[in-house]
Amino acid sequence: MNEGHFGNVGSYFGFLNSDFEFCAMDLGLKNKTAFVAASTQGLGKSVALELAQEGANVIICGRNQENLEKTKSEIENKTDRKVLALAGDLSDEIERDQIIKHTLRAYNVVDILVTNSGGPPAGKFEEFTQRDWDKTYHQLLTPVVGLINGFLPGMKKQQWGRIIAITSMAVKQPINNLILSNAVRVSIVGLIKTLANELASHNITVNNVMPGYTETERLKELIESTPSFASARAEIPLGRFAKPEEFAAAVAFLVSERASYITGISLAVDGGWMKGLF
C-alpha cells in the first residue's frame, strides 16, 4: 500500500484492506424484519420489493385488498421471501392498531419501520375547509406517530432499529398548488429530527427521505389534476422523473447496517430539483 501523505490510514481506521480494493457492499438486511407502510403501489411497494430483494422479511399494507394480494404475489415471485400482507386504513386508529398487533404476533420485533401514506389533494388555501386540514393531519402525521409507538418498544429492547419517514421534497421547498402537503408534512420532519436525538442512545437511527417527482400513480394523478406538474421535468437538472426503484435504493442504504452512523438527516432523491444549498 502506498502510504503517501496520509500515513497508514487503512490500518488506523481498520477497515481498508491492504490493496485498497473495494469489497462488495453487503447491506446486512438478510432476515431483518421490515414494515413498509402504504406499500401496495408506488414508492412504498418499491421499497418493500427492494428490501425483500436484500433478504428482509417484509410486511406490506394498504386499503385495497385486490392490490394488496397482487403486490404480495409480485414481491414473492421476484424474491425468495414470504410477504405478510395486511389490509387496513392506517389513518384509522383501530385498523392501524390491528395491523400493528398482527405484525407483532407474526414477527415479535420489527427491525425496520418505513412510514408512508397516500398524498393529500392538490389545491390552494381557499379551496380547503378545516375538515380537509384535519383529514390531512390524520392522513400524514397520525399514522407515523401510531406506527412508531407500536414498533419502538421492540427496537429499544433489542437496542437496534431503523426508522425512515417518506415525506416529500415539499418539506424543504414548497410546491405550488400543494398547500396541504407543504404545510402538514413538515411536522413529520420535526418529529423525526427530535426522535433521532432521543433514540440514538438505543442504537436506533431515524431519518427522513424526501422523494422528488417520481413515476407513480400519485404523480400521474397530479399531472391530470394540475397540468403545470407536467412541465416540472424542465426544473429537474437530471432532466427526467425518477423511477420508484431509484428512490427505494436510497432507503435500502439508510436502513442498512452500512448506514449505522447516519441519523437525523433529510435525504432528497430529487434529481437535483431543490435549489437551496442545504
Ligand X SMILES: NC(=O)c1ccc[n+]([C@@H]2O[C@H](COP(=O)([O-])OP(=O)(O)OC[C@H]3O[C@@H](n4cnc5c(N)ncnc54)[C@H](OP(=O)(O)O)[C@@H]3O)[C@@H](O)[C@H]2O)c1
- Enter the DSSP assignment of 256: S
> Nearest approach, Cβ of 198 to ligand X (angstroms)?
25
CB of 168 or CB of 205, closer to ligand X: 168
> Nearest approach, Cβ of 249 to ligand X (angstroms)?
15
> Nearest approach, Cβ of 67 to ligand X (angstroms)?
5
Q: How far apart are CA 45 and CA 116, in angstroms?
A: 10
**Rounded to 5 degrees, what angle do the CA atoms 78, 81, 83 make?**
95
CB of 116 or CB of 256, closer to ligand X: 116
> Nearest approach, Cβ of 14 to ligand X (angstroms)?
39
Residues 6 or more apart whose Cβ sits within 8 Å of residue 183: none
Residues 6 or more apart whose Cβ sits within 8 Å of residue 66: none
- Enter the DSSP assignment of 268: E
CB of 64 or CB of 194, closer to ligand X: 64
Q: How far apart are CA 72 and CA 222, in angstroms?
A: 26
> Nearest approach, Cβ of 221 to ligand X (angstroms)?
7
CA 109 to chain centre: 19
Output the CA torsion 176→181→187→189 (10° steps).
-80
Alpha helices in 125-213 (DSSP H): 130-140, 142-158, 179-199
CB of 216 or CB of 256, closer to ligand X: 216
What are the CA-CA distances from residue 45 to residues 52, 155, 172, 201 (Å)? Answer: 11, 23, 24, 31
CA 90 to chain centre: 15
> Nearest approach, Cβ of 118 to ligand X (angstroms)?
3
CB of 178 or CB of 199, closer to ligand X: 178
Contact footprint for ligand X (CB under 6 A): 38-44, 61-64, 67, 89-91, 116-119, 166, 168, 211, 213-214, 216-219
CB of 10 or CB of 89, closer to ligand X: 89
> Nearest approach, Cβ of 269 to ligand X (angstroms)?
9
Three cell numbers at 184? 402538514
CB of 16 or CB of 249, closer to ligand X: 249
